[in-house]
Amino acid sequence: MELPETFMEKMGQLLGKEAADFFRSYEEPRASGLRLNPAKISETEWHAHNPFQLEKIPFASGYYFDEEKDKPGKHPYHAAGLYYIQEPSAMFIAGQLGLEKGDKVLDLCAAPGGKSTQIASGIGENGFLLANEIHPKRARALSENIERLGFSNTVVTNETPEKLSRHFENYFDKILVDAPCSGEGMFRKDPEAARLWSQEHVEACAAKQRAILEHAWKMLKPGGTLFYSTCTFSPEENEQTIEAFLARHEDMALVPIPHEHGVGPGKPEWTTEKRKDLSNTARLWPHRLKGEGHFAAKMRKHPGEAGQTAPPEKTTKLSKQQEKDWTTFAENTLQHFDPGRRSFFLYKNELFLLPFNCPQLKGLRLVRCGLHLGAFKKNRFEPNHALALSLKAGQCKHRTDLGAGSSECIRYLKGETLPGTKENRGWVLITVDGFPLGWSKEAGGILKNFYPKGLRIV
């Protein structure tokens, strides 16, 4: 591929003897990756169902697949949220966060959602993830991916880092800043990024990244972890940005990231102060491993006074009719479904189940607030697609299972009506090989299709 001349000169000077191998990597096909969703399927279960030819990624918890042989994005298992298609090097980032069950985590620049879904899985049902994206269209795509993978512990917002920092001071256990960048590491995937590249753009990105980090620092509680990553090579956006941040915040210290399986150290020599601890950061190079270019830095805030405990979001009191409609639906359709200590949240006629210990969200632009249960219609409750994808098959009283390779499964994904029984079972969960795919409603011997129109295959 054609690379910007100034970029080639710059990287040639930085890499020296390695530059030839680095530039040669741009002529090789890019790697494609697939990461399982452990909230829906275990490795053991996957090996019993796997329809693809996969190869384990040595530096991340995922698999390579061959785009020439397999199309996992078009398989019904993708619609069921069993996996997320993700660039292999990107999988490395969230895997280094050191997530624990019950963590409160902020993914500040979260779209399209690969890292957010990895985080949501790692913190468990009692954790809380705030996945934020400043661009409205990308925020909707982020929300759709959270929905497809079935997570109920996540709130999606469309806010500026500045506004969030006023709302969540010293609050989060862990924060990921996967910063907007010049995208040099993605030139193979996105040739348009190469066409738009300039040194001025690099410097503008670096200024924006430093501002974002300042807001992230305000939201990190004492003892918390701040993880910074980019998909670019420029020192200005990587080591130099971290050096400047650490100079301003003596309460932050770098935590070593493992350098193995082709993952290399950061480059202190590419900075002004050349502080040695910058070698604790990590660089993923396309000529050293099978993946695109990334940079990562893990920092910890010194312990101090306890972080803030934000007031919880208040539960919505349903009207008697709404309570009756929800209870009727739940009793007729669901089993072993326990909201526990989680709160209902009603927006207009849409009912959500908030994440456990969800903080107050008033004043924020919300895209998704936990699990979208459904909507109150005239004297009835209609379940949302998100509820179907959050369930295990055994949590629904009535279901119809389809084989992944069956014509019925394809018909369902196209939005077509399917044959039912004469039992008039009402809401029926459609599953593919036992994994929830969406809703149907049975009446008169047919299953009316409720698969969302925007997701249907054509």
Q: Supply the residues annotated as catalytic.
A: 231
- Specify whether the CB–CB gap between 292 and 89 falls below 8 A: yes
Cite the DSSP H helix spans in 124-261.
Answer: 136-148, 161-167, 191-196, 199-219, 239-248
- Specify whether the CB–CB gap between 425 and 442 falls below 8 A: yes
Token couple for 373:
């249960």
Question: Binding site for S-adenosyl-L-methionine: what residues are annotated?
Answer: 109-115, 133, 178
* 212 Cβ contact partners less than 8 Å away, ≥ 6 residues apart: 108, 109, 161, 177, 179
Q: Does the CA dihedral 185-227-177-199 come out positive or negative? A: negative
Instruction: Give the length of the chain.
Output: 458
Maximal C-alpha separation, the chain? 76
Strand partners, 175: 106, 226
Strand partners, 104: 128
Distances (CA, A) of 317 to 114, 320, 343, 346, 378: 34, 9, 10, 8, 18
Token couple for 46:
């996957």
- Specify whether the CB–CB gap between 332 and 426 falls below 8 A: yes
Among 342, 341, 364, which Cα is nearest to 352's? 342
Q: Report d(CA 131, CA 164) in Å as an integer.
A: 11
Q: Are strands 344-347 and 294-301 parallel, antiparallel or unpaired?
A: unpaired
